[in-house]
Chains A and B, each alone.
Chain A
Amino acid sequence: MQKSFDTPKIVTIEKVVDETPTVRTIFFSDEMLSKVLPGQFAMVWIPGINEIPMSVMVSQENGKAAFTVRKHGLATTELFSKKVGDQIGIRGPYGNSFTIKQGNLLLVGGGTGLVPLIRMITFLKKSDNVTLVMGAKTKLEVFFEGLANKLLEGTKHKVIVATEDGSYGEKGLVTDVMTKLFQENKFDAVYTCGPEKMMHKVVQIASENKTHVEASIERMMKCGIGICGSCCFGDVMACKDGTVFDGVTLLANKEFGYTHRSKSGILDNY
């Protein structure tokens, strides 16, 4: 994608949608980000606070883009608290994207990791058969189910929700659902994004079933443009070589599913 430079561009928040008590989607106008490929991200500047990488969400409106944020640390809580009329800075898009395959496709996501998968749906063909498995701890934390069904309307599809406490949908983890699905179905490709332990399991299951799999990984990120090295993941950089990697590459990376780096660059265990 062509972009002139990497200086933050200020945009104004036009709409805020509550997804759950801790998750919101914020909408703004930006031609470039409205068109990004699924898995690509932007660096989002919350002036005076921090700048963080965010996967670009679908806006369903021409020329508009969105981010879905869960309040967690200082920066995400500030972004979550932004109101209509507030300003944020954006630069990007950065990173690669999911390879778009056709046929029987399985999408497995958890939490805000659903964002690139929802975006993925908008790039698929009407003839594809999509199964989306989405995980949450409990019913209150389930979001995007309605949106996914709406975006997949008129196609052969299934949206399956799994909650850890069984308060909604199937009881258990998305990977439990995935194992069951593989007993009865063959998939042409699996795409996943969410907590790394979850993705690790998804990649293992898909690989055991000899199915092409891709995951979008997350690392501590500072520059987003392949300079600082903070998001180093084995011998690759999440920002520039990723964030999407295929299963073969991931299973050969000894850090996948086990370790990530701190702000200083020290390897910590997940």
Chain B
Amino acid sequence: MSPDISTRVGQIALERPTMLASGILGISLDVFGRLYKEGAGALVTKSLSKEPWDGYPNPTIIGLKNGYLNAVGLSNPGAPYFAKMLSQNQTIPIIVSLVGSIPEDFTFMIKQFENVKILGYELNLSCPHVEKVGLEVGDDPELVHTIIKSVKKESKVPVLAKVGLGSSDYLETVRTACESGIDGITAINTLRAMAIDVETARPILSHKIGGLSGPPIKPVAVRCVYEISSKFDIPVIGCGGISSWEDAVEFLLAGASAVQIGSAVGEKWTGVFSEINNGISKYMEKKNYGKISEMVGIAKKF
């Protein structure tokens, strides 16, 4: 019998442990359907705001020798538009990512999704390149507390918080989130970074500073997942530089119950989900694990 690769992130049940990370391709129901068919266990939408955002002018994403640098600027069609689009959804496991500055932004958006079939929400407390949202919210414990409290009061589905490395201790953000009733943590977002073209002496991204993703940030993300799952009794989703099944397994061993894949979609395209799922399955067979939960966090026993 082949191993069971289904998993649970708290109350969220997933057929497969590989999710599409927020910000990647997540703009239409048709695309979500395709990625689900191609192996993703769940799809996280682009971070939605109250109103449509155009994002920054290009260049917004560039590749580096290793990894990617982006400051897209959270372009998205807005929560009301997106909720209407998702209202036709019946079968696709979608997690809605939300971005905002104050509790009212989030509660307004959650109202839009009241009658839409979704698995849960992921609050973006960690985008490193847009002012007054993302990391700037994540770095403010008071705000994190009031936002999560109000979201939890409104939401009928589980709520995750996506954290990143800002100017404050990210473990304090996690602590606040846990104390405020969060259902799970996604770690981590991109890391603040920049690139300068030496010929023109110009920062390449139009926003100058953006976020680094891909293989270079993986060891940082593994460390964060390990720390969070060691210090708090909270389900964790690992995210950051996963591009192979070995990477995914590493996150599971560090304490993640599921993983998110982002930059590797650009590198390997849509087949990346089934490739990693198959690799995990073979690893489990070889190591005699019947369920994902048997391997979650076992690196911590050493």
| Contact B25 A265, beta carbon cutoff 8 Å | no
B13 at the interface (CB under 8 A from A): no
Q: In the complex, what residues of A have CB within 8 A of residue B262's CB?
A: 227
A257 at the interface (CB under 8 A from B): no
Taking CB as reference atom, which chain A residue is nearest B34?
A235
| Contact B63 A229, beta carbon cutoff 8 Å | no
| A-B interface contact total, Cβ < 8 Å | 130
Task: Say which size band chain B's interface belongs to.
Answer: 35 or more
| Contact A230 B266, beta carbon cutoff 8 Å | no
| Contact B52 A266, beta carbon cutoff 8 Å | yes
Identify which of A49, A228, A262, A264 contacts B60 (C-beta below 8 A): A228
Q: In the complex, what residues of B have CB within 8 A of residue A66's CB?
A: none
A177 at the interface (CB under 8 A from B): no
**Distance between Cα atoms of A102 and B146 in the complex (Å):** 66
Taking CB as reference atom, which chain B residue is nearest A88?
B200
A124 at the interface (CB under 8 A from B): no
**Distance between Cα atoms of A229 and B31 in the complex (Å):** 9
| Contact B204 A222, beta carbon cutoff 8 Å | no
| Contact B31 A263, beta carbon cutoff 8 Å | no
**Distance between Cα atoms of A263 and B60 in the complex (Å):** 12
Binds B, one of A3-11, A111-119, A132-140, A198-206: A3-11
| Contact B266 A225, beta carbon cutoff 8 Å | yes
B202 at the interface (CB under 8 A from A): yes
| Contact B30 A265, beta carbon cutoff 8 Å | no
Q: In the complex, what residues of B have CB within 8 A of residue A232's CB?
A: 25, 27-28, 30-31
Additional pairs, 14, CB under 8 Å, beyond known A223-B70, A228-B61: A5-B64, A6-B64, A7-B195, A8-B59, A50-B57, A87-B200, A222-B72, A227-B265, A232-B28, A232-B30, A264-B53, A264-B55, A264-B77, A265-B28
Q: 5 A-B pairs, CB-CB below 8 angstroms?
A: A6-B64, A7-B195, A8-B197, A225-B61, A266-B52
Among all A-B residue pairs, the 3 with the closest Cβ atoms = A6-B63, A51-B58, A223-B61
